[in-house]
Amino acid sequence: MRNFPRLVSKKLSPLFSTRKLLAAKTPPFLPFYHTVGNQPLPHILNYPVIDEKQFKQELDFYLKYFKPVSLEELTKSAKPGSFHLSFDDGLKECTEIIAPILLQKGIPATFFVNSGFVDNKELFHRYKASLIANKMRTQPDAEAENYLHENGIPLKALLQTPYSKREILDHAAELLEIDFQSFLETQKPYMTTSQIKELHNKGFSIGGHSHKHPEFRKISEKKQLKQIKKSMKWLEETINPKVKAFSFPFTDDSVSLKLIKTIHDKGWCDISFGTAGVKYDTIPYHFQRYPAEQPGDFKLNVKAEFLYFKLRKTIGKATVKH
């Protein structure tokens, strides 16, 4: 039932004018992505990956209906009708494909990176799961499948494997003769420190996205703070950004009001982000982003999100409360 209102919004959104729907008074529109790929990316099965052509079309759509603003402008004046683009995980396509397109179109953006993955030091556990899933699809292995199942990871739930079971993924990879370290060294899926600095020098904002991207709802508040602190310390020492920004990995759902206030009061960040879509937030320096990488028609998805916001607003539920 929780997703029923969104399903209704998707069904009804084609009946509404795009311009009128998107011109409604809303919070700033904050779509976010992870990557753009012209070739299949075997480590990414967790979300749809669009190609360069589609990405350009989506950017043109944003520019048609919204005004692009920088992260600094967002912190000073969060006006309706504006949009700020961001990208999570610090993948190499950010420098190879995404940034040149954004510069060409004059669109500012923020790249949120995981300090534990920069320079290809380690691979995100969900990307490990994707590599395993890819191998299992082409070369089924009963021993690996049984091992995963016995440890609470059925194949149908493999892509949702939590951070706490990353060592199980490591052993399953050994059974399948998948070498994560070799993948990191040969494919280099993440940006290097020098590439991140180059993005910053070109005018893009760099933010923190935790140290190793765990599901915050499944770890203690103490560990949540540790992940944030390590991430933001790396950011300050490496980039020293004008605006210190942090985006919660996966979601800020179940993250306490106390924790969000703490990381701001300690001066770790100036602005922070969740992923609840187009919604207001009770915390003035905490914003909600819209996950743009969704199945289905992109334009209809955006329209449905704004219709969903309007429907929730009529019943007083357009604001995220922590």
Say which residues have a Cβ less than 8 Å from residue 290's Cβ, sequence separation at least 6: 29, 30, 31, 32, 275, 277, 278, 302, 305
Separation of alpha carbons 215 and 40, rounded Å: 26
> What stretches in the chain show pLDDT beneath 70?
1-4
Taking the model in full, what pTM does it have? Answer: 0.96
What is residue 15's predicted lDDT score, i.e. its pLDDT? 87
What is residue 300's predicted lDDT score, i.e. its pLDDT? 95
Helix residue spans in the chain (DSSP H) = 4-12, 18-22, 52-65, 71-76, 93, 99-105, 125-138, 142-150, 166-175, 180-187, 193-201, 221-238, 257-265, 298-314
Say which residues have a Cβ less than 8 Å from residue 268's Cβ, sequence separation at least 6: 228, 229, 232, 244, 246
Q: Which residue type sits at 155?
A: L
Contact between 91 and 49 under an 8 Å Cβ cutoff? The reply is: no
What is residue 1's predicted lDDT score, i.e. its pLDDT? 40
What is residue 95's predicted lDDT score, i.e. its pLDDT? 98
Contact between 215 and 150 under an 8 Å Cβ cutoff? The reply is: no
Separation of alpha carbons 204 and 171, rounded Å: 39
Separation of alpha carbons 61 and 79, rounded Å: 19
Contact between 88 and 247 under an 8 Å Cβ cutoff? The reply is: yes
Q: What is the DSSP string of 186-211?
A: HH--B--HHHHHHHHHTT-EEEE--S
Q: Which residue type sits at 241?
A: P
Beta-carbon-side half-sphere exposure of residue 171 (alpha carbons within 13 Å): 13
What torsion do the CA atoms of 129, 99, 301, 160 make, to the nearest 10 degrees?
Answer: 10
